[in-house]
Amino acid sequence: MPSVKPNAPRSRTAPPEARRRQLIEATIASISKHGISGTTLTKVTQEAGLSLGLVNFHFENKEALLAATLRHLADEHRALWISKSSLCEIDAATKLQAIVDAQFHPRICNRRKLAVWFAFFGESRHRQAYRKISGNVDLERQNVTAGLCDQIIIEGGYQGISAQAMSRMLEGLFDGLWLNILMYPDRFTRQTARDNVASNLNLWFPRHFPG
């Protein structure tokens, strides 16, 4: 059977959602290589092995494709952490650990996708789009985390600790560790990131997160 080149044009008969997903995945790949400014619809089509006309059929312009890509990443991340942390049969500490684990899950925390997140963080004209699309998701996670910290503080009788402050500190840890994984992969891995968060949770809530 003759081989097919990776970027050869593919069949047009795939369902629309499959095509949109294919283009979003190609956009992620392109941004990770070229950044947002260097990503063009032509590069996306080459990455996906599709025609430019097919991209224009699914997305009005580059900005619409970028917005859909960011929304896909935000929804993917949210679906993972909320599926674990909303289980009724587990306690607050286990739910908080589930949020941490989701943050460093290989499907979410890989250098290709991290490059996309930081591309939106780093380019000033795209930060507004980030806040519009992902800001509420971030706030939701922060509020859920604060609620879980509040339960843990009450259960453990911890004194002088603010649940909101702990939640904000965790968000800062997540962002900083993501950046280190992206920039220094030889020194920072998903496991070292989890270990760093575990050390902080042990410091704050030793009875719930023993070392």
Mean pLDDT calculated for residue range 114-139: 88
Residue 152 sits at φ, ψ, to 5 deg, of: -65, -40
pLDDT at 173 over 50: yes
Mean pLDDT calculated for residue range 68-73: 96
Q: What average pLDDT does the structure give for the chain? A: 90
pTM of the model: 0.86
Q: Is the pLDDT higher at 77 or at 129?
A: 77
Given pLDDT bands bounded at 50, 70 and 90, which one contains residue 86? confident
Judge contact between 36 and 42, C-beta under 8 A.
no
Closest-CA residue to 47 (of 4, 6, 3):
6
Given pLDDT bands bounded at 50, 70 and 90, which one contains residue 57? confident
Q: What is the rounded distance in angstroms from the CA atom of residue 182 to the CA atom of residue 110?
A: 8
